[in-house]
Structure 1
Amino acid sequence: MPNFLSDGLTLNYAIAGDGPPVLCIHGFASSGQVNWVDVGWVETLVEAGYQAITLDNRGHGESDKPHDPERYHPQDMAQDGVALLDHLGIKTAAVLGYSMGARIAAFMAFAHAERVSCIILGGMGMNLINGLSDGNDIIAGLRAPSLEGLTHPTARQFRIFADHTNSDREALAACMETSRAPMARADVRRINVPALVAVGEKDAMAGPPGPLANLLPQGEAFVIPKRDHMRSTGDKAFKDAGLAFLGRNFPANRHS
């Protein structure tokens, strides 16, 4: 995989397709491959005429994995996205994020609006503002010697996922400490780019999409039917809603 330097870290990325660029930022304990390629998002974007750019966030995938929590503030991880666009010579892109990746996308759109044409916030509703109540349990689960005795359902879920993706669990624990920092409500109101907030109907982690979309000046909400947090990522209804949103705000034929 190609890589680039950001904030002293070597981060990996991949590119597929041509057309208007969509930067895809994955969720916690995942990777560009797991979050976007394996579930068909990259294929969907490329077939629709877009260039899909997947990034392995710091602490994840094939990228560098510092164990210092101070390296995982969402503002810094958003800067990684900008650094990748700089590396590729891209002035503006649509940004598609899921869960932690949606939080990063929101911080990116807030601080670097001139680089972001529109954002899709998947798996992230009002908890962008309210924060993640299960964070400390997830950290404890990541640092536990084994799954045995782990009873907290969310902690178990993420520990199983981290083991499945062969993740550096100490890096993930450090990431969880700081990357979940909430965004100020007043800052959300200042994200003035088109924004789709898409959350699963049974998602207990994200918070409701409607109230967040109402705070965003150009926000709209979409409920992914019958899906929870882990099963929304590759859902066809989510993809269809995402492509329709991109078609209105960042059309694939705009450069032709």
Structure 2
Amino acid sequence: MEIFTSGDLEIAYQIQGEGEPILLIHGFASNAAVNWQGTGWVDLLLKSGRQVIMLDNRGHGRSAKPYIEAAYDARLMAGDALNLLDHLGLPAADVMGYSMGARITAFLAMAHPDRVRSAIFGGLGENMILGTGDPEPIVRALEAPSLEAVTDKRGRMFRRFAERTGSDLRALALCMRSERPKVDTGSLAALPMPVLVVCGSEDSVSGSAENLARLIPQGRAVTLPGKDHMNAVGDKGYKQAVLEFLETRA
């Protein structure tokens, strides 16, 4: 991966292929390699004629990991994505985010709609607005001495995943505890670009894809039968929906 500077932080990114650019923004406790390469997204998008751009969000992967809670505001993380587009000299791109990455994508699209040709929110539906629940059980799980010491079901899920991805647990705890600015319905209703929302039917984190898409003028929704938050990301139905959306979004 290559490195560029966003503000005072070093952010890792990778760019592959040629064609129309799509920027991929991964989820919490993941990284570009796990979220997009390991799930087959990169190969799929390259074969469809896309230029694929991925970054490791601050606090994740090979990017800087500030031990400051305020550094993980989603608007700052959206700023990293914007700065990457500037660094690469790209006036605009399609942008797809998963889970936390979908939230970052939303803030990027709301603040800079001219830079986002289309937006894809994966793994986060109406809970983008309503909230995904109390973060403290996840914070405690990340701060626990071991996975065995964690009893909360959702906390165990994220702690197990964070260990699998080799993440910095302290940075993740700060990221999870950081202030979460609201995504308001008025801003979503003002989005001028096509937006696709894709969530699993068994996803306890995301909330309804349909209810979020209804708030967006050019919103479309797909629900993946039987899929949850962790296994929806690599689902064939998700991939097919995205390819069809990108082909028709103009």
TM-score, normalising length: structure 2: 0.98
Q: Is the 8 A contact 1:74 1:178 kept in 2?
A: no
Q: Is the 8 A contact 1:200 1:229 kept in 2?
A: yes
Q: Is the 8 A contact 1:132 1:180 kept in 2?
A: no
Equivalent residue letter for 1:65: K
- Corresponding position of 1:51: 51
- Corresponding position of 1:102: 102
How far 1:187 sits from its partner (Å)? Answer: 1.7
Task: Confirm whether residue 158 of structure 1 aligns to residue 181 of structure 2.
Answer: no
Taking the TM superposition and a 5 Å limit, the aligned residue runs for 1:61-210 are 61-178=61-178, 180-210=180-210
* Distance in 1 (alpha carbons) for counterparts of 2:191 and 2:146: 41
Equivalent residue letter for 1:129: I
Unaligned runs of 5+ in 2: none
How far 1:180 sits from its partner (Å)? Answer: 4.3
3-state SS in 2 of match to 1:215: coil
3-state SS in 1 of match to 2:147: coil
Q: Is the 8 A contact 1:27 1:101 kept in 2?
A: yes
Query: For the structure 1 residues 72 and 165, does the alpha-carbon distance in structure 2 shift closer, same or farther, using more than 3 Å as the test?
Result: same
TM-score, normalising length: structure 1: 0.95
- Corresponding position of 1:16: 16
Equivalent residue letter for 2:47: E
How far 1:193 sits from its partner (Å)? Answer: 1.1
Q: Is the 8 A contact 1:26 1:36 kept in 2?
A: yes
* Distance in 2 (alpha carbons) for counterparts of 1:181 and 1:127: 13
How far 1:149 sits from its partner (Å)? Answer: 3.0
Equivalent residue letter for 2:159: R
* Distance in 2 (alpha carbons) for counterparts of 1:31 and 1:113: 25
* Distance in 2 (alpha carbons) for counterparts of 1:65 and 1:249: 36
* Distance in 2 (alpha carbons) for counterparts of 1:218 and 1:179: 29
Q: Is the 8 A contact 1:119 1:196 kept in 2?
A: yes
3-state SS in 2 of match to 1:239: helix
Equivalent residue letter for 1:82: L
Equivalent residue letter for 2:74: P
* Distance in 2 (alpha carbons) for counterparts of 1:84 and 1:187: 23
How far 1:168 sits from its partner (Å)? Answer: 0.6
How far 1:127 sits from its partner (Å)? Answer: 0.7
- Corresponding position of 1:254: none
Equivalent residue letter for 1:13: Y
How far 1:182 sits from its partner (Å)? Answer: 3.1
How far 1:83 sits from its partner (Å)? Answer: 0.3
Aligned Cα RMSD in Å?
1.0
* Distance in 2 (alpha carbons) for counterparts of 1:154 and 1:247: 36
Q: Is the 8 A contact 1:98 1:124 kept in 2?
A: yes
* Distance in 2 (alpha carbons) for counterparts of 1:179 and 1:19: 37
How far 1:148 sits from its partner (Å)? Answer: 2.0
Q: Is the 8 A contact 1:129 1:184 kept in 2?
A: yes
Unaligned runs of 5+ in 1: 251-256
- Corresponding position of 1:221: 221
* Distance in 2 (alpha carbons) for counterparts of 1:147 and 1:81: 32
3-state SS in 2 of match to 1:148: helix
Equivalent residue letter for 1:25: I
- Corresponding position of 1:253: none
- After superposition, the C-alpha distances for 1:194-246 in whole angstroms (9 at most, x for unaligned) are 00000001111101011100001110100112110000001111000001000
3-state SS in 1 of match to 2:84: helix
Query: For the structure 1 residues 110 and 31, does the alpha-carbon distance in structure 2 shift closer, same or farther, using more than 3 Å as the test?
Result: same
Count of residues in Structure 1 that have an aligned counterpart in Structure 2: 250
* Distance in 1 (alpha carbons) for counterparts of 2:191 and 2:138: 29
Task: Confirm whether residue 2 of structure 1 aligns to residue 2 of structure 2.
Answer: yes
